[in-house]
Structure 1
Amino acid sequence: MNALIKSATIVDSKSDFHNETVDILIEKGRIAKISKRISNPNNYREIKLDNLHVSQGWFDSSVSFGEPGYEERETIENGLKTAAQSGFTSVALNANSNPVIDSYADITFVKSKAQSKATSLYPIGALTKSSNGKDLAELFDMKNAGAVAFYDYQKPISNPNLMKIALQYASNFGGLVCSFPQESKISGKGVVNENINSTRLGLKGNPALAEELQIARDLFLLEYTEGKLHIPTISTAKSVELIRAAKQKKLDVSCSVAIHNLVLTDDSLEGFDTRYKVLPPLRTQNDCDALIEGLKDGTIDMVTTDHNPIDIEDKKVEFDFAKYGTIGLESAFGALQTVFTTKKTIGLLTQGKERFGVKESIIKEGEAADLCLLNPNVNYQFDKSDITSRSKNSAFLGMELNGKTYGIIANNKIVLK
């Protein structure tokens, strides 16, 4: 694949060309030359786009596509196309499927479905067999097949001894164990944040305490085992404090926050719209502020879309019976830019790669082209025409966003909208 990108402003603090507007020549999938002006004698494909900015390719540590088993929600092929058009050159795929991805063969299957795509797929294997929380899955075998972490998607491990054993066992081969932060006996049948809004709307509350208790437990287990832990999608101010203290003790812990938990609060629930039924639930503005501060000071390691396509039959029902989840790939950049600067937003979208075994890409000559193409200065109302996913369950529909992506150049391929 050969191409010439014209008049692109590079946004990459690790590049010698950061903040410069340049041409980028790509030959056979690698960056051959970066200069103020490059001619095109070989008649390569020229890419000229309005207010074009270029950054490292983005990474998402938590996406679900449905396949195998829930192809009506999303397929791996269309999911990777959506990720590519949204600026992501690598994604970590949750074991949120039927059957659950919990064996060497399952990891091999999803990797084969993603071969030759512009966006690279990094499978996350289930932590327990069938994600039932009872017996550990074949962690070492899945690691050898290419699994980058182990996680029962949005299913807490209630047995502390099982979590202890998982951390001990995985530490033998550097495996990353993920633990969903929710104490199920405390959360009970809660469907939204326990707060004045849950009382006013008559919806059962899921208290912040449920998340914080589980995190506190897991951090004690982590200290005991000296393992390697990732806590996905934290959502409360106290959770940030707990993880900040753990990092000060030099524990090997990382965490992420879902973009919708940064931008939206439980005030959105006013109309009982199930697009806002997510897990963990939308919390308060105080929680959002603490999460944003946690990102700024490095306590929170990465953001994620927690992209989770749900078909209309499971969303267009009463709030109590609707499935949890929102899609988030298409809206990620525009939503983050309602909170952060362009430089900070792009920095957040490229963080977390090393934790999940993804090679970092720097924009410099000789490196493989792993690029996101974007326009950071477009204000628009996000609607269904902006959605490539099969499922349309976006919590950001109708919201004013800032910034759009054009697509990516990665894995010797170009994907543009």
Structure 2
Amino acid sequence: MNILLKSAKIVCPENKDLHLKKRDILIKNGIIEKIATSIETPSNTKEVDFKNLHVSLGWFDSGVSFGEPGHEERETIANGLTVAIKSGFTDIVLYPNTYPVPDTSSDVVFLKERSLGKSTNLYPLGTLTKNAEGVDLAELFDMKNAGAVGFYDFKQQIVNPNLLKIALLYAQNFEGLVFSHPQDIHIKGKGIVHEGVVSTRLGLKGIPALAEELQIARDLFILEYTGGKLHIPTISTAESVKLIANAKKKGLDVSCSVAIHNLVFTDETLEDFDTNFKVSPPLRTRQDSKALVKGLKDGTIDFVTSDHIPIDVEGKRVEFDNAMDGSIGLETAFGSLNNILGMEETISLLTKGRERFGLETPAIKEGEKACLTLFDPDGEHIFGVEDILSTSENSMFLGAQLKGNVYGVINNNKTSI
């Protein structure tokens, strides 16, 4: 694969010599051969000269669900990776949200093999416990050796604090990353949305912010005792940001992420009882959203995630109380973030996080493997059903105004452009 990118504005804050400079980029056999102000197009080379072409490192998402195995009607791995590619992502971490769950090394190998030969790299998470039942630890070491980049009982609380203690102690032997979902099921009870004025007015059972904050506080106390590497996915409250900021000041090895939809939407969107807005953790208040954005900007929150969770129509076209949690988000990740944070900050967030999972961060320099996302940061459009690439159509961004478009990716000596 030989490609010449013409007059591409490079967005790469860590390289001051190239950042926001227009350059031609010659790629031969998947390797960046030359970066210069002007390059003549060699023979047998595809020239790419898109309108307002911008180039960055390939984008990374730390939390994506598909469906295969077990829920292929929601999303197969093949189609899910196609969605990721067309949405600008060269690397994704796959949630263990399947049936059966991946709790052995052979399960992890299966997921890796199903993703071979694609422009987007797939990095599976294994479950923390056998069958994700929260009783006995799964084969963490074997799964790590098979390619698992972390361990997570998807969207389930680690109820037993001693189990988390043992997991953090054990995983230190092989630099394992332990996930803990931030929600106390006893405080949550039968709640389905944020507990507050809106839930009271709509007559929906609420989930107090305390359910998240109590769990995080407990987990951080355990981390301080054990050491190890803890990741808290998709935090959603202002107090959670404070708890994690204080833990980092103590020197604890903790990271966290936030779902993009928790930055954009609040519980006020629930007025129409649209089940696409039913997610876990729930949409919170405007004050929480502002605190989450601030936490991203000051580095307390380590990275964003689309929290892409396809749900088939049977799981959403039911009463709000009975609907499944989740919204797709890969297709709208860039456009929604760009809308609220601007291009440079958006790209900074979409390209960070690999190191936390033990992955190598690519570089835009001569001699390096080309791992690039091509995009136009300008232009606004309304996201509609026709823009959905996923098999499932459960997007809370339908009708939302997005900014910018993705042209495609170049990675693994392949391209989608």
Structure 1 length-normalised TM: 0.99
Q: CA deviation at 1:43?
A: 3.4
Q: Which one-letter code corresponds to 2:13 in the other structure?
A: S
Distance 1:17 1:243 in 2: 34
Deviation per residue, 1:378-415 (Å, 9 max, x gap): 20001112111101111111001111111100010001
Partner of 2:11: 11
Distance 1:338 1:25 in 2: 31
Q: CA deviation at 1:114?
A: 0.5
Instruction: Provide the secondary structure at the position in 2 that maps to 1:149.
Output: coil
Match runs of 1:249-260 below 5 Å: 249-260=250-261
Greater Cα shift, 312-321 or 10-19: 10-19
Q: Is the 8 A contact 2:79 2:390 kept in 1?
A: yes
Distance 2:411 2:335 in 1: 22
Structure 1 position 233 matched with structure 2 position 216: no
Distance 1:356 1:83 in 2: 19
Structure 1 position 377 matched with structure 2 position 378: yes
Instruction: Provide the secondary structure at the position in 2 that maps to 1:363.
Output: coil
Partner of 1:242: 243
Distance 1:41 1:194 in 2: 62
Instruction: Provide the secondary structure at the position in 1 that maps to 2:125.
Output: strand
State the identity as a percent. 61
Q: CA deviation at 1:28?
A: 0.6
Q: Which one-letter code corresponds to 1:119 in the other structure?
A: T
Q: CA deviation at 1:40?
A: 1.2
Partner of 1:404: 405
Greater Cα shift, 317-326 or 40-49: 40-49
Structure 1 position 123 matched with structure 2 position 124: yes
Q: CA deviation at 1:46?
A: 1.2
Partner of 2:24: 23
Distance 1:25 1:185 in 2: 57
Deviation per residue, 1:318-366 (Å, 9 max, x gap): 0000000000000000100121010000000111110012211111111
Q: CA deviation at 1:160?
A: 0.5
Q: Which runs of 4+ in 1 moved over 6 A?
A: none
Instruction: Provide the secondary structure at the position in 2 that maps to 1:141.
Output: helix
Distance 2:345 2:123 in 1: 25
Q: Which one-letter code corresponds to 2:296 in the other structure?
A: L
Q: CA deviation at 1:220?
A: 0.3
Greater Cα shift, 11-20 or 259-268: 11-20
Q: CA deviation at 1:76?
A: 0.6
Structure 1 position 308 matched with structure 2 position 309: yes
Q: CA deviation at 1:36?
A: 1.3
Partner of 2:274: 273
Distance 2:257 2:114 in 1: 27
Distance 1:289 1:91 in 2: 26
Partner of 2:287: 286
Structure 1 position 77 matched with structure 2 position 67: no
Distance 1:7 1:385 in 2: 31
Distance 2:88 2:259 in 1: 17
Q: Is the 8 A contact 1:14 1:362 kept in 2?
A: no
Match runs of 1:88-237 below 5 Å: 88-237=89-238
Partner of 1:357: 358
Instruction: Provide the secondary structure at the position in 2 that maps to 1:339.
Output: helix
Q: Is the 8 A contact 1:107 1:142 kept in 2?
A: yes
Instruction: Provide the secondary structure at the position in 2 that maps to 1:323.
Output: coil
Distance 1:231 1:5 in 2: 39
Deviation per residue, 1:208-234 (Å, 9 max, x gap): 000000000000000000111000000
Q: CA deviation at 1:17?
A: 1.3
Distance 1:72 1:147 in 2: 24
Instruction: Provide the secondary structure at the position in 1 that maps to 2:269.
Output: helix
Structure 2 length-normalised TM: 0.99
Q: Which one-letter code corresponds to 2:11 in the other structure?
A: V
Q: Is the 8 A contact 1:54 1:373 kept in 2?
A: yes
Distance 1:174 1:272 in 2: 43
Partner of 2:415: 414
Q: Is the 8 A contact 2:2 2:44 kept in 1?
A: no
Deviation per residue, 1:226-273 (Å, 9 max, x gap): 111000000000000000000000000000000000110001101000
Q: Which runs of 5+ in 2 are unaligned?
A: none
Instruction: Provide the secondary structure at the position in 2 that maps to 1:51.
Output: coil
Instruction: Provide the secondary structure at the position in 1 that maps to 2:25.
Output: strand
Deviation per residue, 1:165-190 (Å, 9 max, x gap): 11111111110000000000000110
Q: CA deviation at 1:14?
A: 2.0
Q: Is the 8 A contact 1:124 1:150 kept in 2?
A: yes
Q: Which one-letter code corresponds to 2:121 in the other structure?
A: S
Q: Which one-letter code corresponds to 1:189 in the other structure?
A: K
Q: Which one-letter code corresponds to 1:153 in the other structure?
A: F
- Please give the root-mean-square deviation of Cα atoms over the aligned residues, in Å: 0.7
Distance 1:66 1:20 in 2: 41
Q: What is the aligned residue count?
A: 416
Q: Which one-letter code corresponds to 1:151 in the other structure?
A: Y
Q: Which one-letter code corresponds to 2:31 in the other structure?
A: R
Q: Which one-letter code corresponds to 1:232 in the other structure?
A: P
Q: Which one-letter code corresponds to 1:13 in the other structure?
A: P
Q: Is the 8 A contact 2:91 2:123 kept in 1?
A: yes
Distance 1:50 1:338 in 2: 20
Instruction: Provide the secondary structure at the position in 2 that maps to 1:337.
Output: helix
Q: Is the 8 A contact 2:306 2:333 kept in 1?
A: yes
Greater Cα shift, 278-287 or 350-359: 350-359
